[in-house]
Structure 1
Amino acid sequence: MDPRSILLRNASFPSLQGLHDVALHAGRIAAIRPARGTAPGRGTDEVHDLDGRFVLPGLWDNHVHFTQWVIRQQRLDLTGTGSAADVLALVAAAIPTGTAGEPLVGFGFRDALWPDSPTCAGLDAASGTTPVVLISADLHCLWVNTAAVRTLGITGADGGLVREAECFRTLEKLEDPDTISFEAYRRAAEAAARRGVVGIVDFENADNLQLWPERVRHGVDALRVEVSVWPDRLAGAIELGAKTGDVLDECGLITMGPLKVIVDGSLNTRTAWCWDPYPGLPAGRKHSCGQNTVPMHELRMLMAAARDAGIGAAIHAIGDRANTEVLDIFEELGMTGVIEHAQLVRETDFARFEELGLAASVQPEHAMDDRDVADMFWPGRTERAFALASLHRAGANLRLGSDAPVAPLDPWFALASAVSRSRDGREPWHPEQCVPAEVALAASARGRSGVRVGEAADLAVTEMNPLTTPGEQLRTMPVSATLLGGRFTWSGL
């Protein structure tokens, strides 16, 4: 919170006519009045003329893996590859001849539609004795070579591919937050602030209750952060007495969030748990309908323990069967919370979100990344895939996010995909699932549909009106300033 008084003059609001002056005091919005060109009141410390720029609630990314987002730039970029051969060529070029060296880690491959298959033998031929771990764009699958299997103690590598639980265990070995500088975290947080972001929900599988307050003490203070706890750390959080909503740091930026549990896999990895089988899976592939990664009785016990301790629940469910099963448990426990992703939902389950008071935390950019994969592996079901409009009409509380690093930590990408269902000049995909701009904006701002007196001065200032800007132009929305508790975390004014 900034104790000073600040006046933002000549501000526009997306839904109001005329210019207004916005007075901020002690980190909150003190007054909003029509702009009349009068002198600022006594005691005003700063005056900024917005010259008609638009003031809107600060934006949140409601699903981030922040450490993985920070270190993505250090990894071999595989996002532009279209085949196993493409990846192998990049790996071979990245490994110095005749050296073993440190493990080479790559990120971003999507193999669901490749014309060839990733194999351990192929990766061994390209990499030699250097351990190589390649992370799929959805974070649910690794492509590893023999050297990595031996060095990292990886088990269950099926022809070079490691999925779900073993994938996550291996990622933990590769991602020690203590080896990443506070400066790297600070730069990533400030980059988010430059895009109007004031807060994130961090789903990194780490000791977030300790790590984030320490980061704030070292200057990583451009964002509010709601931290999650995974099942293996739930008992520790309960022992500490941490409850959802509790403030965890002296600056008031870090709050306790929910228990995070991953119930199924992903679409690209073809492990999302569905009612119907995936077509065209290789012969002998187990789990033809995808798989649940946590037994339902275990999920029920975890959620009940969290509920009884005052901790909310955010449950990853992508396939339609996963969503049904999770909805059933929320109903059985009489517990509200969040379903993360909700990518494929049965028609009869949409209304249950409102009935049970659940939020749907969705990532609209994933629909653009996965539209062709969904057409291939969810045939006849895509009218209810990434179904934002159906969720909204049913009364679900929508929250937009990125799942960074799966998609960029930039809420304007999510907004653009939510309102247009299009990218890269392609025709909209199931345009009936577009949502109005005002719905998408509120879903990116923790439900705030406008700027009101008395609220925290968490604000974004944009050059254009987000309610009237075409979808594709939203992706590059110029953000002129961001304020967090009345403090500028970014200003290009």
Structure 2
Amino acid sequence: MNPILPRLAALILAACCTLPAAAADLFVDHVNGYTLDAAGKLRRFESMLVEQGKVVAIGSHAELAPRAGTAQHLDGGGRTLLPGLIDAHGHVMGLGIALRQIDLRDTASLDAAVAKVGSYAAAHPQTAWIQGRGWNQEVWHLGRFPRAAELDRVVAERPVWLGRVDGHAAWANSAAMKLAGIDRNTPDPAGGRIERDADGNPNGVFVDAAMSLVEAKIPPPDAAEAEAALDAALAELARVGLTGVHDAGVDAATVALYRRHADAGRLTARIYAMIGGTGEAFDHIAAAGLIERYGNDMLDVRAVKLFADGALGSRGAALLAPYSDAPHDTGLLFETPAQLQAMIDKAIARGYQVGVHAIGDAANREVLDAYAQVYRVRGAKAKALRNRIEHAQVLAPADIARFPRLGLVASMQPTHATSDMNMAEARIGTARMRGAYAWRSFLKQGTVIAGGSDFPVESPNPFYGLYSAVTRQDHEGRPPGGWYAQQKMTLVEALRAFTWGAAWARHAEDRMGTLEPGHWADFILIDHDVFADPPARIWSTQVLQTWVGGRRVYAKAAD
């Protein structure tokens, strides 16, 4: 052997072992960092290295500072850092549009809501349709739905259209009904209901599918309005610390808008878009195949959103037995079992994950039966799509156990429980509450919960969701100990639902949802330590900075 070779090999080995690691371009230092790993274990760190938008390493300052080189330095000043939060069920364009319309969520009475509509109409004399959302007759203690005549007092000449807080009913004035041609002879459409007075005349409220009778007359936003709405929504998502969202129901125009924003580098949240239905929009979008990891992982279009029923507050949720407070009403199933099964099968056959909205126990059972039947035909590939039930809100307890057998994700919204606790038990009675908002029951059997809010039905602020999951209380701490407290999550479980769980539900747990090496550097800095401070503080958490892919997309203005 050439005697020089061993010495050369030793020199090469020494050089390899002392070469610095690849230079980072961002060094996050002096933070109180938390992340979960894939096993759900909470890890802490004080420094993080980022290269080309992805995490290189997390650890101590002593470990990582020597590797930082000339990287941009972000000194966290001891602030708490969390992975960017992901909302597994929201409506991005709905949020953007709502931000530019009347928000009635804070109205405590019918009179306050009517006054707010009148003030908005006076301030916007050129607006052809007065629109908004967020009313809730239960909060108003009205004992009935509002009526068109009550809106007519403040806006008589222009149409008014106001969505209920759950998005499953809407309130119109007489001008809107006249434009839509609605009168006593208009029949209820399948899957919908027109509320009527004692004489059979429409009184102004339209439930579920009946809403389309009026909405068909509302001019859609033009391109400039749609772009402005998207920008408004993205700004709000960044402000509250959301770095990703599953957009539950989009059309072809919205997908095209998202692609343009991604191409221009203007998407500041990772959008997992779910096509609304399996009709014309699906056929158009699916013709080009799945859209995956588009624009540097900013956009995916590989899922479909379907509906099985309505909502509990408007008694549109489909129940196996009548409503406890309306003994002749069992809600509304939107599709026959055969129709729902055919839609699920159509999407799955094209490789699309399916998420089906189901609130009531009858709707959830119909969806479970449909998935089971499709799987019998399509086999393991269908199950591997990680199909979902959106909301999974009220179930017969025996049906909860079917989720792991079918490999389904429970896409659930913790704030729905705390928003609904003022009426849910009246709607369904004590016995059915055993299978309602049952987060602990799902977790105990190993079902993945993907946490969300259903914004703009609820606030997009994920800290409201984390707080509701942990306390099951409103923001005043009611009721003491929490509402049906046996179904609470721990904070680690809740954080997992809004990070790893939401990432897993979109087939992306290998690259987002945690701050493990190789994952996108999506993270937030917040104003206090949610793990050390009392749970009562969680909902008021302030986001100081939001980063997506190692790029800052939001910074809170100095007070």
Q: TM-score, normalised by structure 2?
A: 0.80
2:346 to 291, 296, 305: 305
Residue 179 of structure 1 deviates from its aligned partner by 4.6
The residue type paired with residue 552 of structure 2 is: F
1:137-286 mapped onto 2 (5 Å cutoff) = 137-153=165-181, 156=188, 157-158=194-195, 159-168=203-212, 170-171=214-215, 173=218, 175-176=220-221, 178-180=223-225, 182-207=227-252, 208-231=254-277, 232=279, 233-242=281-290, 246-247=292-293, 249-281=294-326
> In the TM superposition, what whole-angstrom CA distance separates every residue of 1:365-417 from its partner, at most 9, and x where no partner exists?
11111101102111112232211111111221101111111111111111000
| Alpha-carbon separation, structure 2, partners of 1:109 and 1:16 | 39
- The change in CA–CA distance for 1:164 and 1:205 in structure 2 (over 3 A counts) is farther
Task: Provide the secondary structure at the position in 1 that maps to 2:423.
Answer: helix
Partner of 1:422: 473
Please, which of 69, 73, 76 is the counterpart of residue 47 of structure 1? 73
CA distance in structure 1 between the aligned counterparts of 2:222 and 2:472, rounded to whole angstroms: 35
> In the alignment, is the contact (CA less than 8 A) between 2:99 and 2:232 conserved in 1?
no
Deviates more, 1:441-450 or 1:353-362: 441-450
The one of 529, 533, 536 aligned to 1:472: 536
Tell me the SS of whatever aligns to 2:335. Answer: coil
| Aligned residue pair count | 483
Residue in 2 that maps onto 1:62: 88
Is the 2:249–2:305 contact (alpha carbons within 8 Å) kept by the matching residues of 1? Answer: no
Range that drifts further, 172-181 or 23-32: 172-181
Task: Provide Cα deviations, 1:148-197, integer angstroms capped at 9, x if missing partner.
Answer: 12324556543211111231564463553635253442243133223221
1:392 is aligned to 443
- Are the equivalent residues in 2 in contact too, given 1:67–1:177 (CA < 8 A)? no
Deviation digits for residues 448-492 of structure 1, max 9, x if unmatched? 785312222122233433333333311122333322122222245
2:359 to 305, 313, 318: 318
Q: Tell me, what secondary structure is at the counterpart of 1:225? A: strand
Alpha-carbon distance between aligned partners in 2 of 1:316 and 1:39, rounded to the nearest angstrom: 48
Post-superposition CA distance 1:308-339 (Å, at most 9, x none): 10111010000011111111111221244010
User: Are the structure 2 counterparts of residues 136 and 254 from structure 1 closer, same or farther at C-alpha, using a change threshold of 3 Å?
Assistant: same
Find 1:373's aligned residue among 414, 423, 447: 423
Percent identical among aligned pairs is: 28
Is the 8 Å Cα contact of residues 89 and 126 (structure 1) preserved in structure 2? yes
- 1: CA distance between counterparts of 2:224 and 2:235? 20
1:34 & 1:298 partners in 2: Cα distance?
56
The question of 1:358 aligning with 2:408 is answered: yes
Q: What's 1:118 paired with?
A: 146
Structure 1: which 5+ runs fail to align?
none
State the secondary structure of the residue aligned to 2:421. helix
Cα deviation for residue 279 of structure 1 reads 3.1
Does the 8 Å contact 1:106/1:133 carry over to 2? yes
Confirm or deny: 8 A CA contact 2:28 2:75 kept in the other structure.
Answer: yes
Q: Are the structure 2 counterparts of residues 9 and 372 from structure 1 closer, same or farther at C-alpha, using a change threshold of 3 Å? A: same
Change (3 A) 1:330 1:129: same
Corresponding residue for residue 482 of structure 1: 546
Correspondence 1:310-349 to 2 at 5 A: 310-334=351-375, 335-336=382-383, 337-349=387-399
1:99-140 CA distance string (max 9 Å, x none): 896222131111244235422334334432221112111111
C-alpha contact 1:401 1:411 (8 A) present in aligned 2: yes
SS at match of 1:481: strand
- Cα displacement (A) at 1:281: 3.3
Contact 2:227–2:257 (8 Å) recurs in 1: no
Structure 1 residues 388 and 175: alpha-carbon distance in aligned structure 2, compared to 1, 3 A threshold = farther
Give the distance between the partners of 1:63 and 1:188, measured in 2 at CA: 14
Please say which of residues 176-185 and 407-416 is displaced more in the overlay: 176-185
1:289-317 deviations in whole A, cap 9, x for unaligned? 11101222111111111111011101000
In the TM superposition, what whole-angstrom CA distance separates every residue of 1:417-474 from its partner, at most 9, and x where no partner exists? 0000011221111111110111100110133785312222122233433333333311
Distance of aligned partners of 1:90 and 1:31 in 2 relative to their CA distance in 1, 3 Å threshold:
closer
Of stretches 414-423 and 123-132 in structure 1, the one that deviates more from structure 2 is 123-132
2:129 maps to: 103
CA contact under 8 A between 1:189 and 1:220: conserved in structure 2?
no
2:331 to 281, 285, 290: 290
Contact 1:7–1:40 under 8 Å retained in 2: no
Which residue matches 2:157?
129
Two-structure CA RMSD over aligned residues (Å): 2.7
Shift of 1:90: 3.6
C-alpha contact 2:305 2:356 (8 A) present in aligned 1:
yes
> What CA distance in whole angstroms lies between the structure 1 residues aligned with 2:44 and 2:98?
43
- How far apart, CA to CA, are the structure 2 residues paired with 1:38 and 1:398? 34
Q: Please say if residues 136 and 164 of structure 2, whose CA atoms lie closer than 8 Å, have aligned partners that are also in contact.
A: yes
Please tell me the residue identity of whatever aligns with 2:483. W
Partners of 1:404 and 1:18 in 2: CA distance: 31
Q: Match of 2:406, as an amino acid?
A: L
Letter in 2 for 1:338: R
For residues 126 and 64 of structure 2, the distance between their equivalents in structure 1, rounded to whole angstroms, comes to: 70
The alpha-carbon distance between structure 1 residues 356 and 467, as it changes in their structure 2 partners (threshold 3 A), is: farther
In the aligned structure 2, how far is the partner of 1:88 from the partner of 1:48?
A: 48
Sort the Cα spacing of 1:177 and 1:316 in 2 relative to 1 into closer, same or farther, 3 A: farther
Residues in 1 aligned to 2:127 and 2:42: alpha-carbon distance in whole angstroms: 60
Q: Distance in 1 between the 2:533 and 2:550 partners? A: 26
Which structure 2 segments of 5+ residues have no match?
1-22, 35-40, 189-193, 196-202, 376-381, 502-508
Letter in 1 for 2:25: S
The alpha-carbon distance between structure 1 residues 169 and 456, as it changes in their structure 2 partners (threshold 3 A), is farther
Question: Do 1:28 and 1:454's aligned partners in 2 also have CA atoms closer than 8 Å?
Answer: yes
Local SS of the residue matching 1:180: helix
**50-59 or 82-91, which deviates more:** 82-91
Partner SS for 2:528? coil
Greater radius of gyration (CA)? 2
